[in-house]
A = this chain, B = another copy of it.
Amino acid sequence: MRAILLREHGGPEVLQPADLPVPSPGRHQLLVAVHATSVNPVDIKVRRGGGASRPMPIVLGYDVSGVVKACGPDAGDWQPGQLVFGCPNLFGPGANAEYALLDGRAAARKPASIDHTTAATLPLVALTAWEALHERARLRAGQTVLVHAGAGGVGHVAVQLARLAGCRVLTTAGRPESIAFCRNVLGADEVIDYRSGDFVARAHDLTGGRGLDVVLDTVGDDTFQRSIDCVAPGGQLVTILPSTPGDRAPLLLYRSITVHYEFMGARVANDLEPGRQGAILSSIANLVDRGLLRPHVSAVFPLAQVADAHRQIETGHTVGKLAVTVA
């Protein structure tokens, strides 16, 4: 099958076409004919050699929308020919290829109202945002939530999910295009322009000095540490990056704050109730089909040009998601 292969770590140019054998589904797996995939920051991280070590060579691409071709014996209630979307195991081969494997328990029926190209942009970011907000922080209506980088991949889904949960949603953005997107397309209650002022002071102003019930950090490092300054006592901070509180740890303690480290890939990799992810993706598909959740695809690349999608993500200026078409 056609695939794009990473044989060595490096820049986007290391992504090269290859002809690989079609994989066979394991016990819980589906073999899926990939119609589309997407690019996420984790693709960049793995390509550069960061994060957990993985055996080379590697097929990247951790989102799939496609058609079930074959099912492992314990892959759940699936039939060949069904339309499916989900995330390949982040420690196994991805979907920059004509065929990919999904854990059938962690996958769901593709939303009917959107095409494969759009559906493929959802699984990784929607699972991340849902797990972060609903399973980890357990959002309640009426809470005030700050989602960093609301115009980003995870951010734009998180802002929408938090609004649907009845929360007041603040988000940060820097470029005029991103600010307009957060305000006009996502309908965030407040958009904090982090370039024109300190988001911590603004978050305190916007909460009457109380601070935030929940902060979802998708940026990391300094943004994570400064976020600690605006979480309310008893509040929660969710990060999707390996950030440390550093000298803000005493503040975490005095305010009795909870820090959730959220990595959606942990579930399938560690066999931690992978069926929960199938249920989450079914909920996501329902929200999309009812018009309540809208993924935003800002550009589409053919698989042969996936390196260009990497270059676009690396600008840090992508609004919403980039899709990659395969079939």
Contact = CB atoms under 8 A, between A and B. Distances in A.
Interface of A: 51-52, 131, 136, 233-234, 239-246, 249-250, 252-263, 265-267, 269-270, 272
B257 A261 contact: yes
A254 B244 contact: no
A309 B52 CA distance: 49
Chain A at the B interface: SS class: mixed
A234 B266 contact: yes
Contacts of A243: 249
Contact of A244 (B51, B249, B266, B270): B249
Nearest to A90: B254
Contacts of A267: 234, 256
Given A51-B250, A249-B244, A262 B270 contact: no
A136 B257 CA distance: 10
B266 A261 contact: no
A214 to B, nearest CB: 13
Number of copies: 2
Given A242-B250, A246-B244, A250-B242, A233 B270 contact: yes
Nearest to A51: B250
Contact of A261 (B246, B253, B260): B253
Contacts of A253: 239-242, 261-263
A51 B234 CA distance: 18
A240 B249 CA distance: 11
Contact of A254 (B131, B256, B263, B272): B263
A233 B51 contact: no
Contacts of A131: 256
Nearest to A211: B270
Contact of A252 (B234, B242, B246): B242
Given A233-B272, A272-B233, A272-B234, A255 B245 contact: no
Nearest to A239: B253
A256 B250 contact: no
Nearest to A266: B256
Nearest to A264: B256
28 contacts: A51-B250, A52-B250, A52-B254, A233-B269, A233-B272, A234-B266, A239-B253, A240-B253, A242-B249, A242-B253, A244-B245, A244-B246, A249-B261, A252-B261, A253-B263, A254-B263, A255-B261, A255-B263, A255-B270, A256-B260, A256-B261, A256-B262, A256-B263, A256-B266, A256-B272, A258-B261, A259-B259, A259-B261
Nearest to A260: B258
Contacts of A262: 253, 256
A136 B266 contact: no
A275 to B, nearest CB: 14
A-B CB proximity, top 3 nearest = A256-B266, A233-B270, A242-B250
